[in-house]
Amino acid sequence: MSGRTMLKIAAFLLLASLTFAEPKGKENVKALVRKEIHQAIGLEKVHSASSAKNAVLLKFLIITTAGIAAFGYVFYRRKKLGEGSNSNLLKSKIELIKKEKLVYRMDPKLRIVRNKLLETVSPNSLKYETIKEHAKRLNIGQEEILLAARLNLYKSKNNIAKNNFGGSIA
């Protein structure tokens, strides 16, 4: 063999020994690579399992929060509408009407006008036009003038003193 061929064979054997030979005291590179690959796959499994748990937990948290928010909104609206509506007031007024216990607020100005009506209205001089004019001028209903006239008529027929009658329709 020629020197040149021998040199090529020697170079090849040197490269082959360097490539395939394992150094003493160190682990096999292939074994290290395999070990790292297995660890990476194991971490991926752990990460994928924990990320799946986190995703489920996040979905549960979002759904729970949305449910609580919807429940809170419905509760708030019902409470607000319940306070704003007059249904309870209307029900209580209907109950009072059924029990024949009417509650009404007295206007102090109308009380004075009603007391004067008892003194000034005579049952004999009532006409529709005068009742209408008096009601507009005093800003009261025509029925109140007629009621005052009837009370005066009752008082004059039965000769009831003002103190006994009370002198007021308010």
d(CA 109, CA 131): 19
- pTM for this structure? 0.35
Domain ranges of the chain: 27-103, 105-165
pLDDT tens track, the chain, 170 positions: 566 776 677 777 666 666 655 555 555 767 777 777 777 676 666 556 667 778 888 899 999 999 999 999 999 988 887 666 667 778 888 888 888 877 777 777 888 888 888 788 777 777 778 888 888 888 888 888 888 888 888 888 887 655 455 555 54
CA dist list (Å): 139 to 30, 34, 132, 164: 109, 104, 10, 29
CA dihedral of residues 107, 112, 114, 115 (deg, nearest 10): 140
Q: What is the pLDDT of residue 22?
A: 54
> Which helix or strand (DSSP H or E) is residue 123 part of?
none
Please report where in the chains the tokens 């003002």 appear, as a residue.
162
Looking at residue 170, its pLDDT comes to: 46
* Terminal Cα-to-Cα distance of the chain (whole angstroms): 144
